[in-house]
Amino acid sequence: MSTEALFQLALDLDGAERRALLDRLEVEDAARHAEIVALMRHYDEAAGDGFLSGAAVDVAA
């Protein structure tokens, strides 16, 4: 699955499911995990909220 497809999947999941996906991805493919976290932060900047990156930061910390 492409990074963009994984990012779209993360958008469609609720908070707990998103965290589970990111946890799994961090273990299986750290580089793509970092890309998706960066995309989430970028998305939040554009949207003006911290909805996605808040969950991503919890996982990435």
Angle (nearest 5°) at CA 14 between 16 and 30: 60
Where the chain has pLDDT below 70, the residues are 49-61
* Threshold 0.85, pTM exceeds: no
What's residue 51's pLDDT?
A: 65
The residue segments making up the domain with residue 30 are: 3-60
How do residues 25-41 score in pLDDT, each as one tens digit? 999 999 999 999 888 88
Rounded CA separation 6/2 (Å): 6
Q: How much is the pLDDT for 1?
A: 85
**What is the number of domains present in the chain?**
1
Tell me what percent of the chain is helix, strand and coil, each rounded to the nearest 5: 85, 0, 15
